[in-house]
Amino acid sequence: MTKYFSIFFAAAASLILASCGQGDVLYVNKVVINLSPVDGNPSSGYLEIHGGRTDVSLVGVTSDDVRRLEMHQTKEENGLSVMEPVKAVKIPAGETVKFEPGGKHLMVWGVGGGSIAQGKLKMIFIFSNDERIEFDALVRKMGDPEPETETE
């Protein structure tokens, strides 16, 4: 009887460990807002989203300390680079989706002075499964050093 139970608990423990591994958890990383050098122009935001166990979509990004925030996609059209707002970005299970120059990006209008002074902006990422992830984005002025590349 005792033996039976110890095997059961060992199996349960390894299940718990397996479910905590990275790659199973939806998370947001490396969020950077590059402030526009021109007053009144939108700043651009880049980030990485790591998919969890199931496919979801990023359906919104908000912050209390901005005037307006949009998700955009840059694409080629007749040899010109144009961008358009997107409502949702698919985050497939287990895959990493990057917002980067020339592709998907955030456009941010009116970042508050307090966040600029602190060098960080609290943002909330809203997903189609109703999950909300809060992340302090790094706010960079033009000429600030590149953010350190972190290993995961």
Does 89 participate in binding Cu ion (rule CB under 5 A)?
no
Phi, psi of 25, rounded to the nearest 5 degrees: -110, 130
Per-residue x/- track, 93-112, Cu ion (CB under 5 A): --------------x-----
Candidate list 30, 50, 72, 104; residue touching Cu ion; CB under 5 A:
72
Tell me whether residue 101 or residue 145 sits nearer to Cu ion (CB atom). 101
- Which are the contacts of 88, defined by CB distance < 8 A and separation ≥ 6? 57, 58, 59, 128
Name the residue number minimizing CB distance to Cu ion: 72
Give min distance, CB of 43 to Cu ion, in A. Answer: 10
Q: Among residues 26 and 31, whose Cβ is nearest to Cu ion? A: 31
Reduced to 3 states (helix: H, G, I; strand: E, B; else coil), residue 83 is strand
Tokens read off for 129: 């499964």
CA distance 35 to 110: 10
Ramachandran angles phi, psi of 106, nearest 5°: -100, 145
Q: Which residue's CB is nearer to Cu ion, number 107 or number 126? A: 107
CA-to-CA distance for 132 and 130, rounded, in angstroms?
A: 6
83 counts as binding Cu ion under rule CB under 5 A: yes
Of 83 and 124, nearer to Cu ion (C-beta) is: 83
| Residues at the site binding Cu ion, with contacts judged by CB under 5 A | 72, 83, 107
